[in-house]
Structure 1
Amino acid sequence: MDSHLDAIFDEDHKKKTWKQTTLLSFQIVGIVYGQLSTAPLYVFGTMQKGDLASEEVVYELFSFIFWTLTIISLVKYASIVLKADDEGEGGIVALYSLLCRNAKVGLLPCDKSANEVVLYEERSGSKLKADSRARRAIEKHKICHYLILFLALFGSCMTIGDAVLTPALSVYSASTGVQRSLTDILTDIFAWSPDTQQNVSNGLRRYVPVPSACVILVGLFMLQHCGTRKIGIMFAPIITAWLLFVAGVGTYNVFHWDVKIIYKISPVYIYKFITHIDIHRWRLLGSVILCVAGSEAMFADLGHFSKKSIKITFICLIYPLLLLCYAGQAAYISKNLHAPDFNHLSQSMPRHCRHLFIVLSLLSSAVGSQATITACFSIINQCLALNCFPRVKVIHTSKTIHGQIYIPDVNWLLMIFSLTVTIGFRDIVKIGNATGLAIICGMLVTTSLMSLIIALYWEKNLMVSACFLVCFGFLEAAYLSACLLEFHKGAWYLVVLLAVSMTVMLSWHYGTMKKYEFDLQNKVSTEWLIDISPGLGISRVPGIGFIYTDIVAGIPAFFSHFITNLPAFHQVLILVSFKSIAVPYVPESERYLIGRIGPKDYKIYRCIVRSGYCDHIRDTGHFEEQIIRSIGEFISIEQNDIESMVSPDERMIIIGNSNSRLDGNALVPLDEVDSSSCMVNNESQISPVDHDALESRNKRKKVRFMLPENSPKMQVSVRKELLELIDARESGSAYFLGQSHLVVRDGTNFLKRFLIMVYRFSEKNCRESPVALKIPHAALVEVGVICTI
């Protein structure tokens, strides 16, 4: 009987799992595969019509499209790269974080801390990676660390460039289809001659595509504030309808124009293409690479979905339908080489389907652009956590899915750049050249980092890593060379975008590093604060002082400068440090590290808040309450931790872990206590609960604490310290922030001066404060310090 029930339970669980996987597979069609699905709009359309001279060339290009989709999208991404996830997260930053943890190549400020308590404990208990010659060589040579960081930032810049170019390319391609349809409709109505038709077409080409594309782009970017979830509700049906439509038309074109196109996927045609190669034929590959545009999103958006759903959707739906679409378009082109605009997808549509094509192409082009915009938001959010991008406001549009974010400042900048591309170029070929260069550069970065992952993280033989790098790197390098041939025809714009974004990222990283090094060099020991107090006659004022600093040991220079000139600080001091760890998420039970500085009488604590590069913990209004509660737990468990009491150095304790919590001995928030029966101990100096007072406190979102009613195990000294913490909390809080101003020494070279100048400009124009914790301005104290570098 039990075995029968177990079988029924297992069957229900399997049905639930497959149902969930099927639902996810449908949802990701519009979010992950939007760009890949709309690529047929511009793959052949970005090719020069004069280079498509014969049927053989079309067959050879179709063979290239088939094998490029198969090798790069199917084999590389769907079969290999998806396995290199970082605890379910994907993307270039995820690969970089894996290398930082497994090869110690980190150069970011969060990686340079000497205090071992900041390091992340592996929850899975996996074995340590065996030391190898490759790992020792990479860890030994600093140039390798800089190269890997440069690759990660370069790949991030390519994602930003793709988010600028792809909306312009896809929307402008769809808009040109509208212009051609209008020309055909007017010709049918008025029966114009070929010359008149050409003149009207030229006039419409001048006045229709650009304005309509600009309107769609503005609407697309204005829609971003609604959030990925609301926008994505209509994405999957639109892309699914688009794919079924173009695949159906492709199947029709195959049977109507050239059934033998199916046999043209043979690699023999690739061989023929290479044997008759010249510069005009080779540059066509710069357009072919656009067929895999969006493949990077399969890996970058891994954190939002599951590997199984991504693979099932691509293999069973996206891949075969796209091949049918490309086969039908190639069949049409091969038999209509002398027709006007024969290489555009709209021309291969049967006449009675063109109106439906216009509607679906406009909708799907906007949907396809959404994937790159969302990926750009995600990559910038991850760079923010790693201190490689200026502080911008990040709005989380979903309470359940961490990756669904919206960054207003970045959104408007992307819109401006996309409009600039559309209005400035007015040419699908030039925009396609720049987009192809962005796509292939991003893929080359993934290939390079992935080869290191194979050797250092998966611990495969170096030959396996070298084979991966050579096989995929050689193919992508060939496409890169083809894209560079069109550098003067639009691809140069990507270099401009790269120069701007890379300069901002490198300057912010360099300035952050210099400020962190200054803090490390000028910090004072904790003994200094203890020894100087009697000498200066420092007085303690009621309340809690929160000192936000990047260093995790010692006293920051700005605070020592403050108390030297104004000898007074609060009854309770809490030094708070945020440290981003090279993991996607840090669980709540392992987030807070609490320690004590000096004797208990001084009531000085240190709180280190650890977060992953996908966490968002600084944008909460209840952060102060969480720290107070964690310190209360620390005081309660410290009485049983003999080692921490006798240790001469600061020793941090993880707060929040259920194994170390002592039930009933920590602070209790007043709103968690039954107001009808709660009378707090008189020692706590808190009156019975008053509903009007509670309503007033709820308006200002301040939580009050009390001692637990029944705590017979609590020592007198612990009770006294907890009561003092409650009293300090009731007296109010002040927040101390250091404002370090970078000043360059005379004689510094131009490059360093330029980076610091850009950093200071970015810092001055940041839309977000250094610690985004909704700190009231009346309680904020900023202390300025000059950093000479």
Structure 2
Amino acid sequence: MEGDGITEGERPKVAEVDSSDGYEGDKVLRKIKKFDSFDIEAARLKSDHGYSSNQNLPWMVTLKLAIQSIGVVYGDLGTSPLYVMPGVFPDGIKHEEDVLGVLSLIFYSIVIIGLIKYVFVVLSANDNGDGGTFALYSLMCRYSKVSLIPSQQAEDKEVSSYRLEVPSHRLQWAYAMKSFLENSKAAKYLLLFVTMLGTSMVIGDGILTPCISVLSAVGGIREAAESLGDDQIMWISVVILILLFQVQRFGTRKVGYSFAPILSIWFFSIALIGIYNFVKHDSGVIKAINPLYIVRYFMRNKLEAWISLGGVFLCLTGSEALFADVGHFNILSIRLSSCLLVFPSIILAYFGQAAYLRKHTGDAATAFYSSIPKPVYWPMFVMAVMASIIASQSLISATFTIVKQSVALGCFPRVKVVHTSKDHEGQIYVPEVNTLLMLACVGVTLGFKTTLQLGNAYGIAVVLVFNITSIFLVIVMVMIWKTNILLIILYVLTIGFVEFMFLSSVLYKFSQGGYVPLVFAVVMVSIMYLWNYGYRKKYAYELENKVSRENLITITSNTNVHRVPGVALFYTDLVHGISPIFTQYVANVSALHSVIVFVSIKYLPISKVPLEERFVFRQVEPEELSIYQCVVRYGYRDVKTEQQSFEKVLIDRLKDFIQSDAPPAADEQGEASDCGIANVNEERVQREIGLVDEEIKIGGIVYLMGESEVIASSGSSLAKRFVMNYSYNWLKRCVRQQQEVFNIPRKRLLKVGITYEV
């Protein structure tokens, strides 16, 4: 691993050390310290609690989670019967048998992709209980060194939730995949690009879902008020969307319990209506279970059948939420709610619509509302609007979460993240993103007006995410699961082929609205890549120009540099060594606080880091300088505490480190020294801890931070100068500054400016 200073053969020595072994354990630690004191501290932090992904819970708890998941996960999937049939038959039904062919396509799409792929395969590829595109990427980053930022450390593997097992040389496929990803720079860039693309498409889904769901639901009012035109439906939808985004700032309280009853009633209702239509109109549609009807459908319609796959695919929208939201529940709860309620209800709804359309072929454009029995029309209309709003809410919340993960992993500009609940850490609100989503949703609704072309755009956004998930899943199968190669080939030839066919169909409608998510993805990926590129270049510069130990001693020994009371927390991105900003600071201020702690906030490629393993310290030699380095490790779903609480925890952990870092005195035989020398060590510990307490009491805690400008070095290409001098620096000026992200009080903040030529 880059920069850790330890060979592969030496690392296990650190992992095997247990600080509870008394002097023997400490003696081994002192011997290893010459390599990297960060590793020793990590060995001390190693805990026995392990990671619990909430997969082994009591049955009653699992059932409660299954009920909650209905209100959070399935809103998008549950509202798809509103717009699938109109999307498949935009020009009406030309042949009565086409209904059976389409129904068979819908049935097997749900079974093969919705159930087999997502419920039973993809859910198993979670990252310590979390799902989604970034979760798969972080999983691959742990099992192979594919991260483009050289901030990896050996002690990261000691975090209890890391759960790393390097593929064995005996498993040739796994080892070949790992070696290829680690040794190919192009593969690393491609993985990052595909991750960004998948993330952008999910965010695009968060824009399109509210539009198509609300438009489809509100459009049902035409059954009772035929005089309403597309413009009136559009403006009613716009008002609902604006209100929906305005209430986001208040947060969501126990979303699952609030929405689960509504969506449960919705699922039971569409299932009962489906059964009613099945019995009343044409129970013969059960024949659609025979896949031969798919073959006949394609033979009869040829190109038109292939084009209609874009509409069929809409029945799967929301399946990705099964994986993305698994971290809020657990695998078993998602599988229970999917298999016992959600998928059976949706399948019954489609069978009921098909039975109705067999007798009323002219109602394809309004299949859902036309098939509803007249006495329950208005209750179902109200339920449809409510279900659409819930579907929109789940995707908006998911977008906030995805943006937070992207920011944490250095792939998105810094934005303000507001935690709206003290009890539920996953409930967040991002003001800037909420405003952009609202403007985008209103713009898309005004631009498309109806769900037909909007469905074309929606399909491309979703199917690309499906294909990206499958690509990452194959890598996980080969490198991490070490799955039999024949099963991997079977997956690619079946599920992979089906998804490729869906992708080819929706791309055919590129000019009919399909360009919208791709244009949006280009914009989002450009922003994400520009930010990540600038961040990487800045980090690489700091790593290359970090302050050496000799320079540090020279700086601190300079008689012109005065030590002033107080504890200084010097924030820096650099994990390995001391940032060159420190040299710039001393050159301008000529004063150093009595105790200095270089603080690096680092995000590991895991979802959560236990609090007791979050802080890793080392003391910069010589010890008389009272200078320490601290790496604060977070997972991409961890919640930062308030600054005052963070200060207290950091200082407490610093004192613990000083206490535990005191070496036991030893004689020539390696045994504990006499009490006199031990007392000297104890006095030194008390003196250092006392110094920290005294300096905080006298001078308080002061924050130091660099205000860096990154520009392209002379001789750089025109493209690089444009990216670094204009694009990246413009993004930096537009987004939240570091002190705002970390909630650092302005009265205690001192910033020093520096220019990096990269």
Aligned counterpart, 2:42: none
In the alignment, is the contact (CA less than 8 A) between 1:44 and 1:344 conserved in 2?
A: yes
Preserved contact between residue 43 and residue 291 of structure 1 (Cα < 8 Å) = yes
Show the counterpart of 2:693: 726
CA drift at 1:770: 5.2
How much does 1:18 deviate?
2.1
Report if the CA contact (8 A) 2:271-2:348 is conserved. yes
Unaligned stretches of 5+ residues in structure 1:
1-13, 184-199, 644-710
- Once the two structures are TM-superposed, the CA of residue 402 in structure 1 deviates from its matched residue by 2.9
SS in 1 for 2:151: coil
Match of 2:220 in 1: 177
Preserved CA contact (<8 Å) 1:179 1:208: no
Question: Given the alignment of the two structures, is residue 760 of structure 1 paired with residue 741 of structure 2, yes or no?
Answer: no
Distance 2:532 2:752 in 1: 22
Shift of 1:489: 0.8
Tell me by how many angstroms 1:331 deviates.
Answer: 1.3
Inter-partner Cα distance in structure 2 for 1:496 and 1:314: 33
Post-superposition Cα deviations, 1:658-717, rounded to whole Å, max 9, x if no partner, equal xxxxxxxxxxxxxxxxxxxxxxxxxxxxxxxxxxxxxxxxxxxxxxxxxxxxx9998222
Q: Secondary structure of the residue that 1:253 maps to in structure 2?
A: helix
Q: CA deviation at 1:554?
A: 2.8
- Distance, in Å, in 1 between the alignment partners of 2:164 and 2:396 is 36
Shift of 1:180: 3.0
Q: By how many angstroms is 1:292 displaced?
A: 0.8
Structure 1 counterpart SS, 2:638: coil
> Quick one: structure 1 residues 363 and 115, their matched pair in 2 at CA, closer, same or farther if it must change by over 3 Å?
closer
1:700-739 mapped onto 2 (5 Å cutoff)? 715-730=682-697, 731-739=699-707
Matches within 5 A, 1:570-589: 570-589=593-612
**Structure 1 residue 560, shift from structure 2 partner:** 0.3
> Cα gap change, 1:114/1:334 in structure 2, threshold over 3 Å: closer, same or farther?
closer
Please list the CA deviations of residues 197-243 of structure 1 after superposition, one character each: whole Å capped at 9, or x if unmatched.
xxx3xxx1134211111111112112222323344443111111111
1:241 corresponds in structure 2 to 265
**Deviation, structure 1 residue 496:** 1.6
TM-score (norm: length of structure 2): 0.87
| CA-CA distance at 1:462 after TM superposition | 3.3
* Paired residue secondary structure (1:55): coil
5+ residue gaps, structure 2: 1-54, 170-174, 667-677
* 1:374-425 C-alpha deviation (Å, 9 max, x unpaired): 2211111111110101111112233343322221211121111011110111
Q: Percent identity?
A: 35
Matches within 5 A, 1:634-645: 634-640=657-663
2:216 is aligned with what amino acid? Answer: S
CA distance in 1, matches of 2:487, 2:258: 43
Identify the residue that residue 420 of structure 1 maps to in structure 2: 443
Q: Which amino acid aligns with 2:317?
A: A
Looking at structure 2, the residues matched to 181 and 217 of structure 1 have their Cα atoms a distance apart, in angstroms, of 22
Q: Which residue of 2 aligns with 1:518?
A: 541
Q: Whole-Å Cα distance in 2 between the matches of residues 115 and 52 of structure 1?
A: 61
Cα distance between partner residues in 1 of 2:272 and 2:537: 59
CA distance in 2, matches of 1:373, 1:464: 36
One-letter amino acid of the structure 2 residue matched with residue 173 of structure 1: S
Aligned equivalent of 2:206: 163
Say yes or no: does 1:113 pair with 2:146. no
- Identify the match of residue 467 of structure 2 among 441, 444, 447: 444
Alignment of 1:200-599 (within 5 A): 200=227, 204-339=228-363, 342-535=365-558, 537-599=560-622
For residue 136 of structure 2, the aligned residue among 91, 95, 99 is 95
Superposition pairs of residues 8-157 of structure 1, within 5 angstroms: 17-50=58-91, 52-107=93-148, 109=149, 112-113=150-151, 115-122=153-160, 127-131=165-169, 132-157=175-200
Distance 1:120 1:273, change over 3 A: farther
Residue of structure 1 in register with 2:44 after alignment: none
Partner-residue secondary structure (3-state), 1:621 = helix
AA partner of residue 58 (structure 2): T
Corresponding letter in the other structure for 1:355:
W
Aligned residue number for residue 608 of structure 1: 631
Q: Deviations over 1:140-181 (max 9, x none)?
A: 211111111111111101100000001000000111111332
SS of 2:653's partner is helix
Task: Show CA shifts across 1:61-92 (max 9, x none).
Answer: 11000000000010001111111111111111
Distance 1:309 1:452 in 2: 26
**Secondary structure at 1:541 match in 2:** strand
Letter in 2 for 1:42: Y
TM-score (norm 1): 0.83
- 2:708 and 2:105 mapped to 1: Cα distance? 55
Q: 1:208 to 1:537 in 2, by over 3 A?
A: same
Distance 1:51 1:125, change over 3 A: closer
SS for the counterpart of 2:98 is: helix
User: 2:742: which partner in 1?
Assistant: 773
Q: Distance in 2 between matches of 1:141 and 1:301?
A: 32
Q: Residue 750 and residue 292 in structure 1: after superposition, are their counterparts in 2 closer, same or farther (change >3 A)?
A: farther
Question: Partners of 2:656 and 2:367 in 1: how far apart?
Answer: 67
- Superposition RMSD on alpha carbons, in Å? 2.2
Point out 4+ residue stretches in structure 1 off by more than 6 angstroms.
Answer: 711-714
Q: CA separation in 2, counterparts of 1:18 and 1:587?
A: 26
Deviations 1:108-157 (A, max 9, x none): x3xx1265345554568765421322222222211111111111111101
Alignment check: 8 A CA contact 2:569 2:703 kept: yes
Q: Deviations over 1:718-764 (max 9, x none)?
A: 22221111111111222111122122345644543443333222211
C-alpha offsets along residues 466-498 of structure 1, whole Å, 9 cap, x if unaligned?
332332221111001110111111111111211
Deviation of the 1:537 alpha carbon: 2.2
1:214 maps to amino acid: V
Partner SS, residue 409 of structure 1? helix
- Between the two proteins, the alignment pairs up a number of residues equal to 686
After superposition, give the CA deviation of every residue in 1:597-649 in whole Å (9 maximum; x if it has no partner). Answer: 12222111111111111112265431111111111111112224679xxxxxx
